[in-house]
Every structure is written in C-alpha cells, then in structure tokens.
Amino acid sequence: MFHWLEKNPFFFASAISIVISFAGLIEIIPNFAKAGRPLVDLKPRTVLQLAGKMVYQKDNCMACHSQMIRPFKAETDRYGKYSLSGEYAYDRPFLWGSKRTGPDLHRIGNYRTTDWHEAHMKDPAKIVPGSIMPAYKHQFTNMADIETAYAEAVTVKNVFHTPYGPSIKRGKAAWEAYKPTVLAEARKIAADMKDERVKKAVSEGKVPEIVALIAYLNSLK
Amino acid sequence: MQSNAALEYDYSLAKKFTYLTILFGFLGMLVGTIIAAQMAFPELNYLLGEYGTFSRLRPIHTNTVVFGFTVSGIFATWFYVGQRVLKVSIAESKFLMVIGNIQFWLYFVGALAATVSLLLGYTTSKEYAQYEWPFDIVVVLIWVLWGVSIMGLIGIRREKALYISVWYYLACFLGIAMLYLFNNMEIPTYFTSGGLGNPLHSVSMYAGTNDALVEWWYGHNAVAFGFTVPIVGMIYYFLPKESGQAIYSYKLSLLSFWGLMFVYLWAGSHHLLWSTVPDWMQTMGSAFSVVLILPSWGSAINMLLTLKGEWNQLTDNPLIKFMVLASTFYMLSTIEGPIQAVKSVNAIAHFTDWIPGHVHDGVLGWVVFMIMSAIFHMAPRMFKRELYSKKLMEAQFWLQTTAVVLYFTSMWIAGITQGMMWRAVDEYGNLMYSFIDTVTVLHPYYTIRALSGVMYLAGFIMFAYNIYKTMTVGKELTQEPQFRTPMA
C-alpha cells in the first residue's frame, strides 16, 4: 500500500491531508459553541477600553504578561480568583500570553490604580525597584486610535452579535455622534492623572495612548 | 535507473533562497541577541525609542527566524533536493522557472514589508501569526506559488517513486497551508464599519477560549510543519548523501512519517494546560505529547543508525558532525517537550524561561544546525567550488555548540527557579516571594543567555563568511563531488 502511495502523489497528498486533519476536527469543533459562551453579566469593553487593548497589542505587553490565572492556591493568592472561560467570550484576539516575565494582569484592575499605572509606565524601575520592564514614555505623546477602536466595536457587534448598544453603528456620522462618549470617559481617567501633556491633549479632544491603556487595564477585573 | 551525469540541474532558485536564508538568519539572530541582552540589561531598551523595546522587537525576532530564516531554508533546499530526487531539472519547464522567480521576489519584498509593519506595531497579537491581514494574503499567495512549484516538479518527474524527503516537503506544504488559513481567519474592521479607522486593523474570527485553542493548534503545529517536518526531510536527503550510506531502515521511516503526521497535531493543547480549555482536551494534549516521542525518536534513531559502522566519519568530516549533533538535539528537544507537557511539570514550567529554553535547544541545535549543514553541502555543488575552510567550520561548530548548551542550561535553571519561587509558601501558608524577587534572581541566567546569543551569532557570521569565501575564492571543482563535500 505504501509503495503504491509513494508512486501516486495525488493520493499521497490526500492521505496526508486526511491524517493531519483529525486532531483539529476532534479537539476544536465539538466544544466550539460551549467555549464561546459569555458569563451571565459580562459586558463588552467600551470603545476607549478597546482602544487601550489596541495599545496593549501594539506595544505587545503580552510578550511578558499573561492574562490567565491558573487554579492553584499560589496563583489565586497572588492574583485573585482563577480565570473562567466565560470571562474571555468577547476577547478578540485572546490575550492570555505564554510567558510571565512580569506578573499576570488578568485582575490588575482590582489592585492597581490610574495614578499607579501613570507613574509605572513612565519609569517602572522607580516604582518597582529591580524591575526590568522598559518605560513606555511614548504612550504619553502618541495618540490612541479611537476611531479604529470604534470600527472594531461596530464590526464585532454586526458580525458576531457582541451586545453593544444601538449607538454603535456603521459610518462616519455615527462615529462623530459617538465620539463625545469616548472623550468623556477619557476625561475621567485623565482627571486622576498628573501629566500636564496628557491633561492638555484630553482637554483638546484627543486621547493619548496612556489614557486608553489605563482605561483597559482598569477594566481587567 | 538512469545515470546522474546526463542531467544538469538548475540551481538559480536554490542559490537565491540560500542568500535569503543567510540574510534573514543573521537578522533574526541579531534581534534575538539584542532582546536577550535587554532582559539582562534593561537600559538597552532605549536604543531606538518606541521601536526598540523588548516587546516590540520580540515578534520581529520570532517571525524573522520562522518565516524569514527557516522558510527560506526550506525553499532553498527544496529547489535543490526536489530536482535531484525527482530526477528532473526545473529549467526543463519555463513555467516553473517563472513561478519560482515570482515566488522569490514576492517573498523577499513581502517579508521585508511585514517586518516593517511589526516594527510599527501592526499586529494581530497571535503568536507566530502576528502579521496583519494584507500580509497574510501575501503569505498565502507565496505558499500557493510554492505549491504549484512542488506539484509541477512532481508532475514532470522522471523518478516515479517519491523519495522520503519529498513526503516531508509535501507534508510541510499541506500542513502549513491548513494551519495558517484557519488560524488567520480575521475580519478587517475598515470594511465592516463603513470605512472607519485604520484599514490594516482586523479582529479575529474566534474569541477567547476558542481563539486560544485555534491559535495553539496552529502555534504548536507551525513548529511541527515548519521546524520539524521539512528539517527531517532535509536530513533524510543530506545525511545519506554526505556520508554515502543508505538510510538504515525504510520501515522505520514509514512509521516515523505517518506517526508524526497523525500524532503531532493533537499535542497543540499542551500549550493550554491549566487554562480554561476543557480538561479532556488538556489530557489529550498531554497524552499525545508523550506518544509523540515515538515518531520523533524514530526519525532521529534512523539517522544515527544510518551511520552504523561509519562513525569514523564523525571525526574527519565536520559536516557529519553538524548533522549528528542536529539529530541529537532533535532527540533532546523531543523528549524535553513531552516532559513539559506532563500536567504536574507544566504547572511549574509554564510561563517561565524553561519554555524559551526548550524552543531554543530545538531551534538552535536542530533547525539552524541542519539548515547550515544543508547549505554547506549544497554550496560546493551549486557554485562548483570547494568549501573555503574546514578549520573555520570546526571552530564554528564548537563555538555554537557551547552557545546552545549555555542557552538551555541557563534557561532550565532560570525557569525552574522562578516556577518554584512563584509557588513557595512559608510555614503559615503565605507566599514567600513578591513577584519582583523572582525577577531579580534571574539576572545571572539572563546574562549567560545573552552571552550565549552573542556566541551563537558570532558562529553564524563565521558560517556566512565561509560560504561567501567559498563562492568567491574557493578552489574550483572540475566535477561534482559524489558524497563527501570537499573542503580546504
């Protein structure tokens, strides 16, 4: 049988395709609907938080931080309640990470505050002596892309039925109408911050990356 | 069987991809060394402003090594090995030559553009699949072109039976195609929101736990079909060719091939042990990881036994030394992986430096060593010149071997130390260490690892120099060497 296969490339390739597809079919498909189910009271992230998640992705925080508290006492003592599948139901992509050079962040919103993050992102080693995390000063001057975050909210609402309210709609006009909501949320974060550049930018209707990022980190609970 | 002499093979494509292998290998390892140094000396994060932080550079390191270096190496060896085992010159078909050249240029330009996009922060955040959607489309195009190339060459072959290496190249093509397509399903937000925001941005088709499952089914098996399958294909060709020995056992190669095909993909969920994916999947991942030792060791043992009675070659041919060491590291890495996939071990090992340690004894010791061996073997045949320096090869061998050993030993210690410190409790059951304690303790190991990176990179530069000198000043050969590669 094998000699025959080795002389018939078409059947050989077909045989490979069949053999390699089993695992995915059996491990991924049967549980798909169940694993996609959200917790009962789970709310999708606000547009500002989504913009912060995009900053988290852009600066690739997940290279060093996980968002997955495993069910061990050592982890629940350190980080809080272990993670549940339903908490991630609106996370596209998942941001569990695979390496903890720094601590887990899945419930960071429970024990760190806006001003802590502000000082920490400017100079991590000053807040946590011995820290090897780089400073992310550019987040104080770069502006977050809130329009793209809004586009993401519209997309997941329309395509995946993520439960956003009726004001999240397609098109420029809807976005212009929605923008003040995002800015209001940004002002609340900025009120707890000290950096003058950030305060000035927010008062001018712009959202620095750090503001969005903190909104996101505060939402991790 | 017809004689080799009548056929002139066309190596233009193999040569082009060889240059890229060396270029991307250098870049990928350079960035890797920089980020390794950043973990020991954080001040190095500020050399390039926003673009020079560890977090921004890490995907560039991984993607350049995976999709730059390794994939170029796979293409380079395919365009060499494919012709020879199928007994057909690619130049016999103008069509295939054109397709091959389009593939090359699209790949070269695409790889550079994708790297720049990562540097600028455009990323889907899924590991080893970070490229945003337009680059994914380019990757798919390149892959389709390569598929046309493989099928085309097989279509016009003279040797009817497909040699073992071809099985592996075919599997590499099919496996990566399937994995890449499913994992990179994403929706560009610009088009679904009525033209809002950045056109490059997309969201994943899957969410949360499902996204994690698909990603690690991909992530683990991109390693399978990129770092294992084609590299095994290479050694099945190059080791017998270099040593003049026939493969030890055809049956063992059958068992290893089909075993690998079936078992490998199940093991993906071992990346998600103790996470929120269902227990039965985690257990399947663990169990299949252990079973995976069989086909992996099957190939490695088949290689080592191929040298039966010929072990003297190990002492007098550095190329054999490279390949034997590669097989040995393959064995080490494929026993280490299953150990880490045992749930109780994984509870300590996961999230620690032991994991990058494992990846690197596989990649530095196995993948890079094998690809370099392939290029050492191909160069005199492609350029019709002797290898420039045997001494340099010997020096490179020992330098890089020491580097790999330093890398994985330091990361083993670092990983297990950190894993144990995270869970250490005092007599009252309180955690003994704050997180930062478990970071500062790693400084010496990070320093050793950075040093090993410098050594390995230096070895790679020696390799590149040796090949460059071979091309330019190596002694010209009047006829193609049959087995052992001639070297000065």
Written as one string, the DSSP assignment of B282-325 is: HHHHHHHHHHTHHHHHHHHHHHHHHTTT-THHHHH-HHHHHHHH
Give A82's contacts (C-beta < 8 A, 6+ positions apart).
A69, A70, A71, A72, A75, A76
Given an 8 Å threshold on Cβ–Cβ distance, is B436 in contact with A78? no
Residue A161's identity, in one-letter code, is H
> Nearest chain A Cα to B173, which residue?
A13
Please tell me the total count of domains within chain B.
1
Going along B184-251, which residue ranges are E strands? 186-188, 202-204
Structure tokens belonging to residue B138: 């380019």
Choose among B196, B210, B271: nearest Cβ to A32.
B210
Return d(Cα B225, Cα B176) in angstroms, integer. Answer: 6
Other Cβ atoms closer than 10 A to B2: 9
Identity of the residue numbered A63: A
Q: Could you identify the residue written with the tokens 């050694």?
A: B235
Chosen for mutation from A101, A141, A158 (greatest number of chain B CBs closer than 10 Å) is A101
Nearest residue of A to residue B202 by CA position?
A: A152
In a domain, B157, yes or no: no
Closest Cα in chain B, distance from residue A127 (Å): 11
Residue B413 lies in a domain: yes
Per-residue pLDDT reduced to its tens digit, A103-144: 999 999 999 999 999 999 999 999 999 999 999 999 999 999
Residues whose CB falls within 8 Å of the CB of residue A201, separated by 6 or more in sequence, listed in order: A143, A207, A208
- Domain membership of residue B306 (yes or no) is no
**Residue-range definition of the domain harbouring residue B437:** 351-488
Closest Cβ–Cβ partner in A32, A100, A152 for B201: A152
The whole-angstrom distance between B230's CA and the closest CA on chain A is 14
Measured between beta carbons, which residues in chain A are less than 8 angstroms from residue B213? 27-28, 31, 35
- Contact assignment for B125 to A90 by CB distance below 8 Å: no
Q: What is the mean pLDDT of residues A182-209?
A: 97
- Which one of A60, A81, A83, A170 makes the best mutation probe of the B interface by having the most chain B beta carbons within 10 Å? A60
Is the pTM above the cut of 0.80?
A: yes
**C-alpha–C-alpha distance, residues A26 and A204, integer Å:** 54
Question: Which of B14, B18, B7, B17 lies closest to B157 in space, CA to CA?
Answer: B7
Nearest CA in chain A to B422: A74
Residues 346 through 405 of chain B touching chain A, CB cutoff 8 Å? 347, 350-353, 355-356
Tell me which chain A residues have a C-beta less than 8 angstroms from the C-beta of B258.
19
Q: Is residue B200 part of a domain?
A: no
- What tokens appear for B221 in the block? 């098996």
**What residues does A182 pair with on adjacent strands?**
none
Q: How confident is the model at residue A32 (pLDDT cuts 50, 70, 90)?
A: confident
Residue B307: inside a domain, yes or no?
A: no
Residue B243 belongs to a domain: no
pLDDT tens for A52-90 read 999 999 999 999 999 999 999 999 999 999 999 999 999
Residue B331 in domain: no
- Does B444 lie at the interface with A, CB-CB under 8 angstroms? no
Q: Which positions ≥6 away from A161 have C-beta within 8 Å?
A: none
DSSP code at position B477: P
Q: Which pLDDT tens digit goes with each residue over B23-81?
A: 999 999 999 999 999 999 999 999 998 999 999 999 999 999 999 999 999 999 999 99
Token readout for A82 is 């272990």
The residue of chain A with its CA nearest to that of B203 is A92
Taking contacts as CB-CB distances below 8 angstroms, the residues of chain A near B46 are: 134-135
Instruction: Verify whether the Cβ–Cβ distance B262 to A70 is below 8 Å.
Output: no
CB contact under 8 A, B347 and A70: yes
Q: Which residues of chain B have pLDDT under 70?
A: 1-6
**Contact status of B287 with chain A (Cβ, < 8 Å):** no
Give the minimum alpha-carbon distance from B450 to chain A in angstroms, rounded to a whole number: 15
Nearest to B435 among A103, A135, A172 (CB): A103
Q: Do B276 and A85 touch (CB under 8 A)?
A: yes
Per-residue confidence (pLDDT) for residue A31, from 0 to 100: 85
Does B210 reach chain A within 8 Å, measured CB to CB? yes
Query: Are B265 and A152 within 8 A, CB to CB?
Result: no
Alpha-carbon distances of B107 from B62, B135, B235, B387, B422, rounded to whole Å: 17, 10, 25, 28, 43
A-interface mutation test, from B57, B60, B249, B275, most A Cβ less than 10 A away: B275
| Percentages (nearest 5) of helix, strand, coil residues in chain B | 75, 5, 20
CA atoms of B450 and B362, how far apart (whole Å)? 18
The confidence score (pLDDT) of residue B1 equals: 44
Nearest CA in chain A to B435: A103
Both structure tokens of B59: 């995907």
What is the Cα gyration radius of chain B? 23
SS3 A112: coil
Q: Which residues in B lie closer than 8 A to residue A16 (C-beta atoms)?
A: 167, 170-171, 174-175, 261
pLDDT at A92 over 90: yes
A93 prior amide bond cis, ω within 30: yes
The percentage of residues in chain B with a pLDDT greater than 70, rounded to a whole number, is 99
Distance of alpha carbon B69 from the chain centroid? 8
Q: Look at residue B194 and give its three-state secondary structure.
A: coil
Residue partners of B13: CB distance under 8 A and separation at least 6: B75, B79, B90, B97, B100, B101, B104
Q: Is B447 on the interface with A (CB under 8 A)?
A: no
Residue keyed to tokens 């698909």: B214
* pLDDT, tens only, B136-181: 999 999 999 999 999 999 999 999 999 999 999 999 999 999 999 9
Residue B390 within a domain = yes
Which residues in chain B are contacts of A20 at CB distance < 8 A?
Answer: 171, 174-175, 178, 261-262, 264-265
DSSP annotation of B363 reads I
Q: Are A100 and B121 inside 8 Å of each other by CB?
A: no
Interface confidence, given as ipTM, is: 0.94
**Cross-chain Cβ contact A96/B275 below 8 Å:** yes
Q: Which two tokens stand for residue B419?
A: 């894993």
Q: How far apart are CA B395 and CA A40, in angstroms?
A: 63
Q: How many Å lie between the alpha carbon of B339 and the closest alpha carbon of chain A?
A: 18
According to the model, what pLDDT value does residue B5 have?
Answer: 55
Cβ–Cβ contact B171 with A under 8 A: yes
What's the rounded Cα separation, in Å, for the pair B177 and B70?
16
Among the partner-chain residues B187, B207, B278, the one whose CB lies closest to the CB of A155 is B187
Name the residue among B160, B171, B266 with its Cβ closest to that of A23. Answer: B266
Sorted by sequence, the CB contacts under 8 Å of residue B11 that are 6+ apart come out as: B79, B80, B378, B381, B382
